[in-house]
Amino acid sequence: MKNATKLFGIIALIGIIGFTMAACDDKDSGGSPFDGTWNGRTSEDEQIRIVIDGSTFTVYWIEEGSITSLIFSATGNTGNFSGEINGTVTVSGNTLIVTFFGIGTFTLYK
């Protein structure tokens, strides 16, 4: 009887561990490293905010009060956007390097 109790306890413990592992989030299966709100300043010290959510790339030129929505695509840590303004993006951790063709390159942070 003592062995049956131990066996039942071991099976229960294995079940609990299995369910716990299945319920944990897989941190690597999240969204794109680009997704989120990025803030920075232009060379003229004007605030710029970029919000990336999937294929939507929205640029907020704070001082000008204008918003530009663009189409975004990415592979790995590099991406491209197109529309009214075209350019490229590179992400490394909490740093986003954005190059607006014909305007300049800016560094933004999460």
- Does any domain span residue 17? no
Mark 69-104 as b/e (b = at least 16 C-beta within 10 Å).
ebebebeeeebebeeeeebebebeeeebebebeeee
Domain count, the chain: 1
Compute φ and ψ for 29, nearest 5 degrees. -95, 15
Confirm if 94 and 108 have CB atoms less than 8 A apart.
Answer: no
- Does any domain span residue 18? no
Q: What angle do CA 46, 52, 53 make, to 5 degrees?
A: 155
Any idea what the CATH number is for the domain that residue 54 is in? 2.40.128.50
Q: What letter would DSSP give residue 84?
A: S
What Rg, from alpha-carbon coordinates, does the chain have? 23
- Does any domain span residue 27? no
- Does any domain span residue 51? yes
pLDDT by residue (tens digit) across 9-61?
A: 566 556 555 544 444 444 444 678 999 999 999 888 889 999 999 999 999 98
Q: What letter would DSSP give residue 76?
A: T
- Does any domain span residue 49? yes
- Does any domain span residue 48? yes
- Does any domain span residue 2? no
Domain of 90 in residue numbering reads as 32-109
- Does any domain span residue 37? yes
Question: What is the sign, positive or negative, of the torsion defined by CA atoms of 42, 31, 66, 103?
Answer: positive
pLDDT by residue (tens digit) across 56-108?
A: 999 998 888 888 899 999 999 999 999 999 999 999 999 999 999 999 999 99
